[in-house]
Amino acid sequence: MSSIPSPDSPSGSPPVVELAPLVEKQQGRRAWYRVFAVCCLITFLDGFDFQILSFTATYLRGDFSLSDTQLGTLGTVGLFGTLVGGLCMGYLGDRLGRKPSIVLCVAGFGIFMLGFAGAETYGHLMALRFISGFFLGGVLPLSWALAAEYAPKRARVTAISVIMVGYTLGGAAGGPISNLLVPGHGWQSVYIAGGVCSLLALVPVLYFLPESVKFLAQRGRPDADRRIAAILTRLWPGQPVAPGAHFVPGDPQPATTAGKFTPAKLFRGSLARITPLLWLVYLLSSALIYFMVFWTPLINERMGFSVSAAATIAAAASVAGAVAQLAISRFVDRKGVGSILWMPLMASLAMLTLGLGSPGPVLYICVIISAKMFINGGHGGITSIAGTFYPTSIRANGAAWASSVAKVGAMIGPWLGGVLLDAGLGTGGAFTAFAVCPVVMVVLLFAMGRAQKSLSPDTEGALFDGTAHATDPPAPQPAPTPAGPGAVLTGPQPDVTPAPQPQPREPQS
């Protein structure tokens, strides 16, 4: 491994530090949890700001005299904005950095959420929804990339699932908050609340969210070592970084991803099988979940529930989905992508029950919550793996392209739901038609699980078998020669650096 000359050691070389082993061997510190807490806050606001449209749709339809198809088109325009925003911000995330791109996104959707509250025509709603969607769509893949680069492989899917639970809970919060604010202050009040809270969230983002150290090391800018040292010192206070340390990512960086990014890199090497399957399953999942997100509150009303009760049912279904996301994530970390397929399998049965049966109010509530739980659980599992198969150099772009391609399905979902309802098929026909999505997803996830099992252990996205560190060589003691992997801090550091002896094998689940 190359090093740079340094007068701090007789050999003229500073210690060379691999960042990946540090991340893999972390045992948990408050600073790491703060990173994930801020990401969770960002995704909570993202989910609230985006999904609040479904809870205010009834009021918008009345004030602007909109048809179901116009409402569905409004939802589709916002999703088209997320598609464009995801691609643009993913590119910026791999060029400028994760943090500055996240700051831009949060500021953008905060400002344009406030603008949406002042819309006076349907054209205004369409334009503002597109622009706010641009920034809302950009922040998710950036958050996934940052979380993936600060989480060890053994818990990477779980870490991303946790921050995506923030998104789900943010969407669920739209129901109770709209019930609280809209009757007394109008539908505009929830958009003002979302915009103000988003702008206030810039404070913890700016002060507590670090840039990805792996990204800084991979880009290799002149001040990269200084910035990485400052971040690590802040994450591990009281344990100074070895003077003159030179940092490298330590993750495998395939030659197929070197150089300027092009979409073709997402289909090279092992990604040739993974990317198409990921895109297809994510597209179908998004079509299904955004149909449910957008139309469930209105369908609840058509089933005879009040506006307030309909919003509460939708919120409860979202909370159930968040629980399912967390439950499936640990299986995905240990058993792989194939373990997700049980969620869409159960979702298809629930959707067919809603479509082919005539459930009474109590049974309807139970089935709709179950359907949303399994749909959200499967979608959360798919979301959590979207960026894990791509190396650091193209991770933000990989996650962004997967997310943006999925938005094609997400745009079809609300629009097709409106068309089916306007065509007279009713809620039963709409649920039956969308039950096709989870059935196909089961087949795709099975194929994707087989492809993941064939990946070599050192490939991004390969299954973690608990033995990654069992054969690590002993870590060298601090010395005026290039240090081995993981040697970064001076002084005692038992919880973040390799032990002199091989670590015991983790138990298999």
**Torsion angle, alpha carbons of 306, 311, 313, 314, to 10:** 140
**What whole-number distance in Å separates Cα of residue 450 and Cα of residue 76?**
34
Is 120 contained in some domain?
A: yes
**What whole-number distance in Å separates Cα of residue 97 and Cα of residue 275?**
23
pLDDT at 455: 85
- Residues paired with 17 in a beta bridge: 247
Which residue shows structure tokens 């700016």? 206
Is 223 contained in some domain?
A: no
Which residue shows structure tokens 């933000």? 396
For the cut 50, the answer to whether the pLDDT of residue 499 exceeds it is: no
pLDDT at 496: 39
Least confident of 68-72, 105-109, 162-166: 68-72
| Largest Cα span, the chain | 82
For the cut 60, the answer to whether the pLDDT of residue 468 exceeds it is: no
For the cut 60, the answer to whether the pLDDT of residue 457 exceeds it is: yes
What mean pLDDT comes out for the span 16-42? Answer: 76
pLDDT at 495: 41
pLDDT level of residue 494 (50, 70, 90 thresholds)? very low
pLDDT level of residue 63 (50, 70, 90 thresholds)? confident
What mean pLDDT comes out for the span 20-32? Answer: 68
pLDDT tens for each residue of 471-480: 343 343 343 3
For the cut 50, the answer to whether the pLDDT of residue 59 exceeds it is: yes
pLDDT tens for each residue of 188-228: 999 999 999 999 999 999 988 988 888 888 877 778 888 88
Region of 460 on the Ramachandran plot (φ > 0 left; ψ -120 to 50 alpha; else beta):
beta
**What whole-number distance in Å separates Cα of residue 413 and Cα of residue 79?**
10
Distance set, CA 222 to CA 93, 131, 450, 483 (Å): 19, 35, 42, 21
Instruction: Give the CATH number of the domain where residue 149 resides.
Output: 1.20.1250.20
Residues 245/225, Cβ–Cβ less than 8 Å: yes
pLDDT at 291: 86
Residues 243/13, Cβ–Cβ less than 8 Å: no
Is 11 contained in some domain?
A: no
**What whole-number distance in Å separates Cα of residue 372 and Cα of residue 378?**
10
**What whole-number distance in Å separates Cα of residue 81 and Cα of residue 98?**
20
pLDDT at 492: 40
**What whole-number distance in Å separates Cα of residue 435 and Cα of residue 16?**
54
pLDDT at 1: 35
For the cut 80, the answer to whether the pLDDT of residue 184 exceeds it is: yes
Residues 293/375, Cβ–Cβ less than 8 Å: no
pLDDT level of residue 232 (50, 70, 90 thresholds)? confident
Residue of 492 and 330 predicted with greater confidence: 330
pLDDT at 346: 92
What mean pLDDT comes out for the span 133-137? Answer: 90
Residue of 154 and 107 predicted with greater confidence: 107
Residues 199/110, Cβ–Cβ less than 8 Å: yes
pLDDT at 506: 43
pTM above 0.85, yes or no: no
Q: Which domain holds residue 203?
A: 30-210+263-453
For the cut 90, the answer to whether the pLDDT of residue 83 exceeds it is: no
For the cut 50, the answer to whether the pLDDT of residue 130 exceeds it is: yes
Q: How many CA atoms lie within 13 A of 420 on its CB side?
A: 20
Instruction: Calculate ∠ Cα 188-190-196, nearest 5°.
Output: 100
Residue of 252 and 305 predicted with greater confidence: 305
pLDDT level of residue 240 (50, 70, 90 thresholds)? low
Over pLDDT 70: what percentage of the chain? 83
- 3 state SS of 1: coil
Count other C-beta atoms under 10 Å from residue 280's C-beta: 19
- Count: domains in the chain: 1
Is 149 contained in some domain?
A: yes
Distance set, CA 94 to CA 135, 207, 229, 351, 400 (Å): 16, 21, 21, 39, 10
Is 492 contained in some domain?
A: no
Residues 240/178, Cβ–Cβ less than 8 Å: no
